[in-house]
Amino acid sequence: MHIRRALQGFAAATSVATVSLLGASPASAYPTWQTVGSTNSNWHCGTTIHHPASNNVNMRMCIVMNASKEAQAVLVVVNHASVAVKIEAPGIYTTWGAGGYCNEYPLAPGAQRACFTNTWPLDCSQDTTYAVEYLKMNGISGPVSNRVTTPC
């Protein structure tokens, strides 16, 4: 009986610790597209642009920074088309060493997904800290574009 209570207590403590750690800083999620909700003051986003192959598929590059001056780049894609499209992010590149990609994913009409890079310490000695992405939609390549900078 005492062992059972001890195990239950350990499981509860582990769950709390896991939730605390996950909430402490951004996590790497590549190569899988993730759902993303609203952003906050830790998110520094560039302008929204459309993919060259469709005015109905919009993308935006963001940098998420934590209090420890670590950051990750995030490519957010929204499908405003009436049909599903296949998206793939073969490369997200940064000036501070974070990088990533996301495999091909069927993005439903009206859906939004995000591709996160790994989290990496920022080098604040650089003049500019920025990220760029490369998005394929239905097999059509988009240029490296949508550069976003963040204060260090």
> Taking the alpha carbons of 44, 46, 47, 51 in that order, is the dihedral positive or negative?
negative
More confident residue, 88 or 4: 88
pLDDT higher than 80, residue 77: yes
List the one residue out of 100, 96, 99, 98 whose CA is nearest residue 128. Answer: 96
Cis peptide before 31 (omega within 30 of 0): yes
**Does 6 score more than 60 pLDDT?**
no
Residue 19, helix vs strand vs coil: helix
Highest-scoring range by mean pLDDT, 12-26, 62-76, 100-114, 126-140:
100-114
What is the tens place of the pLDDT at every residue in 58-70? Answer: 999 898 988 888 9
Give the mean pLDDT of 77-100: 92
- pLDDT level of residue 88 (50, 70, 90 thresholds): very high
Instruction: Provide the pLDDT for residue 18.
Output: 30
Q: Does residue 141 register a pLDDT over 50? A: yes
Question: What is d(CA 56, CA 70) in angstroms, rounded to the nearest whole number?
Answer: 33
